[in-house]
Copies of this chain bind each other. A is one copy, B any other.
């Protein structure tokens, strides 16, 4: 960590600060320039609160050199983490998976029929929302526990592992047969939930928050990992910008950046990011080309009947085409 002192900081104050750093177990290298003095802090600076430090009157700026995530940091864990969902289905380290299914679980028939179709088209993991985080309290909030039971039934019939979102740690008992627990963008910094998930032994898919930096995403992964659970899959799903042509701005550069900073696998959810079904395929192909370890795609069954359920969803046939094209891209990337 580097702390730059303001011009004119008095000697006494500086000595106090240095003494305090030493009290925190850090070594301090002082380097005096014409206008500023620079303190180089060596040691375990992870516990130093950078915001608080930045607020001191004598400080011009502070900069971390070593990022305060350790479990998630590729520097300390150079090899790719491979998250094993089942013995045959792995994500990361060269293993790529299609996660597909409906936005919301609505009925037994719906989820079973979509599950069969996406499996045929190449998806290996079934997604479906049972607890739905909705901006409005008056919107449909999901089938909740009953939705999870329908997913479990689809799992039994198709053999596909299932992923669904958790919104409350108190619901964990209902997730016993869920294979991957999803943390949604809005809960990326629900630290109480993250801590509880750190105590489980289930793979966690952690979505990037709408306004989360890549480093904050890693710190949230660190919350889970600090609790003992190392099976984390990161998910880029679009960030909030001033652009309104798409629902969010899919930040595909996050894929190579994350691959450099962390050993954890990275999947991309273009459906939520774009919010426009006909744009999902090119962005899925682009995500694969950028090096993603998987894709999460919304698929709905029957556009005629599910009149208002098609916003960001593809039909099974469209998904099959997307999966075929994406595999061709993957062949190039891996070839």
Contact = CB atoms under 8 A, between A and B. Distances in A.
Contacts of A135: 189, 216, 219
Interface residues of A, number: 116
A278 B46 CA distance: 26
Interface stretch (A57-65, A80-88, A107-115, A148-156): A57-65
A238 B11 CA distance: 35
A75 interface: yes
Contact of A276 (B55, B137, B139): B55
Contacts of A291: 282
Contacts of A122: none
Contacts of A57: 277-278, 303, 310
Contacts of A157: none
Interface string A294-333: 0000000001100111111100000000000100110111
A213 interface: yes
Contact of A282 (B34, B61, B289): B289
A53 B274 contact: no
B289 A2 contact: no
B249 A136 contact: no
Contact of A40 (B33, B255, B331): B33
24 contacts: A2-B63, A4-B63, A20-B308, A33-B42, A49-B140, A52-B309, A55-B276, A135-B189, A135-B216, A138-B226, A167-B190, A186-B189, A190-B190, A239-B241, A239-B243, A241-B241, A241-B249, A242-B242, A243-B251, A253-B279, A253-B283, A282-B290, A286-B286, A329-B329
Q: 10 tightest A-B contacts by CB?
A: A55-B311, A211-B211, A289-B289, A286-B290, A52-B311, A186-B189, A285-B289, A286-B286, A168-B192, A137-B226
